[in-house]
Amino acid sequence: MDDINKWKFITPGIPDIYFTQDDNPNMTKEEVRCLTLCKVRLKIDSVIYDIGAGIGTIAIEAALLAKEGLVFAVEKNPQAATVILKNIEKFGVNNLLLIRGEAPEALVDLPLADRIIIGGSGGRLKEVLSAAQAKLKTQGRIIVNAITVETLATAVKQFAAMGLDEVSTCCLNITRVKQAGRAEIFKGMNPVFLVVGERT
């Protein structure tokens, strides 16, 4: 994307190729981003955490949608954090702050959140969710994107223990069509489970 002003839409779904990636595998794909941002129910002034932000694709889109809000991209991987900064500059978002560090410790000094998105927890999901619950405002929403059975099981169990309302779980099985010689074939992506709940 030569000119970031080309993205003038009010919906999520920035194509993956628009983001700077630098061969970093920690990227949430376009279709997963779309449903994640829809289910977390952003408002224009939401305060949002993106925990385990990877290269910042969800954080960037959240910042563009919540234009009067504030997004904190929490990422412990130095290489991924560097790419987040490149994407912040590329898309010209000024309401997105990079927090270099590991959750839950990195959340201590952050303001209370309206929305918390967890894409990675470094195997510490139970601790991260406990800290997130303490930081979540009333009527705030948490969503966990799980790609392993262990993460899914922990998320479901912890959401129940936290007493969240409107808890739901869905599985995304995305298949894209790819060119293979003179034919087009279906190429499946890894399934992703979305677990979401609200604090009332």
pLDDT tens digit sequence for 171-188: 999 999 999 889 999 998
pLDDT at 6 over 70: no
Q: Alpha-carbon distance 20 to 79, whole Å? A: 12
Q: Alpha-carbon distance 162 to 199, whole Å? A: 9
pLDDT at 7 over 80: no
Q: What percent of the chain has pLDDT over 70?
A: 96
**What is residue 9's predicted lDDT score, i.e. its pLDDT?**
86
Beta strands, E only, the chain: 47-51, 70-75, 96-100, 113-118, 136-146, 165-172, 175-180, 183-188, 192-198
Q: Which CATH number fits domain 4-198: 3.60.20.10, 3.90.1150.10, 3.30.43.10, 3.40.50.150?
A: 3.40.50.150
Domain boundaries, the chain: 4-198
Q: Alpha-carbon distance 83 to 78, whole Å? A: 9
**What is residue 35's predicted lDDT score, i.e. its pLDDT?**
97
Mean pLDDT along residues 53-69: 96
Pairing of strands 183-188, 175-180: antiparallel
**What is residue 55's predicted lDDT score, i.e. its pLDDT?**
95
| Mean pLDDT of the chain, nearest integer | 93
The pLDDT-based confidence of 4 (bands split at 50, 70, 90) is low
Q: Residue 59: left (phi > 0), alpha (psi -120 to 50), or beta? A: alpha
Burial (CB count within 10 angstroms: exposed 0-12, middle 13-18, buried 19+), residue 174: middle
Q: What digits encode the pLDDT tens for the residues 94-114?
A: 999 999 999 999 999 999 999
**What is residue 8's predicted lDDT score, i.e. its pLDDT?**
79
Q: What digits encode the pLDDT tens for the residues 69-98?
A: 999 999 999 999 999 999 999 999 999 999
